[in-house]
Structure 1
Amino acid sequence: MKAAERPSQSSWMKKTRVRSHAFIIEPAIRKKYADVLKTTRNTVNPDQMAVTVKGIRETRNGEVLVEMGASVEARNMFSEALTAAVWQDGQVRQLVLQDSLDVRDLDDATDEQEVRKALEKLPGLVNVGEFKINLSKPSRWSTRVAFIDCYEINAKKLDVLGHIRIGWVSCKISRRFVVTRCYRCHGFGHIAVSCKEKDRSKSCLKCGKKGHMSPSCKEEPHCYLCEERLGSNSRSDHIPGSFRCLVYKEHCGINQ
């Protein structure tokens, strides 16, 4: 996705279901889902490896999908056991969970390669070359945001780190939060069909005024959500649903 098309924190978003680690077993030619499933169940004992199997089902392609919960070490043991069990009857591959991060406060001169090189210098990350990195357009303050998609294990480490030095700047890095947003009132935590709040469906998402929409808005940002929820003395000089929005942070469970 190009930088100009990348959804911002204020985009319409839906909660995703809790994801599990999973393995795919692809049956060999002339082998069926039932055959492979029977072989693995008769050969592999998850309890011996402290693996909890959350579900087993057949994919559209006739593969065996095994969802599980376990430590990294246990998953590796389970993978080896599955591979040994199916042997010539199929192939085993692990589905690696992906996650997303935002890197903020980049200066206008920063490019993708500079972000990647900064990540490569950090210890403990895996497969940095496979990170997907996109940069936003410069803001009116001549700063950029880098949007990163990577393995979940890397995202957790970077989120704990909190900051990363890119160029001259110590940039804030954090995992992207996903929250349901209502297009009727522009609020969070519900959808339009159950909305009982003020109808803002014809109002600008950026400033809250009627007569235009956010792509053509020339007004200053005004967070009517913070103003209504926290009072007129609260800071409202930001776009509703941006990372400066306290109402958005409240629904994400972020400490103020």
Structure 2
Amino acid sequence: MDSSPSRRGGLPHCSSSPAVARGRAQDDEVEIYSTPEIQSWMNSIEKCLSEVTTMVSEGKMNSEQKLRVSSLCLKVGRGVSQMAVQYQSLKHKALQNYATLQTFKENEDLASSLTEIKQKLEENLIKQKQESTSFADMVKGTKTLIRPHATSSVAIYPRDSTKTSEDTKNLVQNIVCPEEMKLKVRGLRKIRNGGVIISTETKDDIQKLKQTVERSTSGLTVDEPRKRKPRIVIIGVPTDMAEIEVFKCIYEQNIVDKLPNLTKDAFLSSIKLSHKSGKRDADSCNFIIEVPASVRRALVNQNRIYINWTSCPVRDFTLVTRCFKCQQYGHASKTCKSITSTCSHCGAEGHTTQECSSKEQPPKCATCKRYNKPHNHKTGDLDCPARKAAEYRYINSVDYEGA
């Protein structure tokens, strides 16, 4: 007769083998019992224990043994009850954890979707910006018709050729008092040949300035500032066409109907090719031409120019020259009077951009830095205040004839 503890009192042995335990531990699915199943399980065990107790009480055992068996059965019952309570608690926690994991997974999927959407939007924005920037860099023009500020200007020069623009500026400021004369001065800037240009809101202010300077004995002369012709850029002109052929097509296909009083000879003598831009060995290039204000208005307003079999976008050309030696606007490096170079990356003087040792640091605008303005942007950036100011000065130096 088997006398092992697992067989005493008719109770079955419930322990699992190590292999079964490992198999359960490795199983990904967790078996979860509902409350009715637990109650059925407990009722079955209590029934078995009750039968054992009855059998023991009817058997030939002494009182001490019977009491011992009954006590053990009670302990088993209490243990099973505790196991059921613990199982219920574990089940509740497991369900909570499962729900939390599901929420995390849904949030993770949502975050992943949002990240993907964000990346696509950023890629599209970068692509649009690159296309816009590359287009702007290519043509250096504006897509809308230029509307210069309606200001009036006067140029003042010294009769003494040894005087500088700074000397002229000081003389003018000693002679003219805007507060007393109630002048609305828009700006005063230096120009070559020792002169200055003063811009005001109205022509009446200009007349007051002229009269005041002419009456003085300061040795200054007053002149109307000479304005330059507008420039436009024609994008995508076929490179196999000669310059004169392009100009004739512009007249015949675009101008003759809009400006019938302008003859072809007068048109050809009034325009001039400033320069060409574009990639070498390309099938097309960009023509930057100087034109009268009336021709510029007619062409830019129609947005495109038809040249033989080609339709070419046309824009106002407002590029301002930036010196790559001193990084200032208004002149090229070949005419720069600065002794030392200025770095376009860090904004420091004394070395070129290629020699800069701070390229890992954020860029600083050399132009704005020189004038102690906010300079946490690239030199020559499209939104650079110095560049915009230079473009504003350029636009107001062009004869748009009221645009």
Query: Normalising by structure 2, what TM-score?
Result: 0.29
Structure with bigger helix share is 2
Larger relative contact order, structure 1 or 2 (CA cutoff 8 Å, min sep 6): 1
Query: Normalising by structure 1, what TM-score?
Result: 0.41
Larger radius of gyration: 2
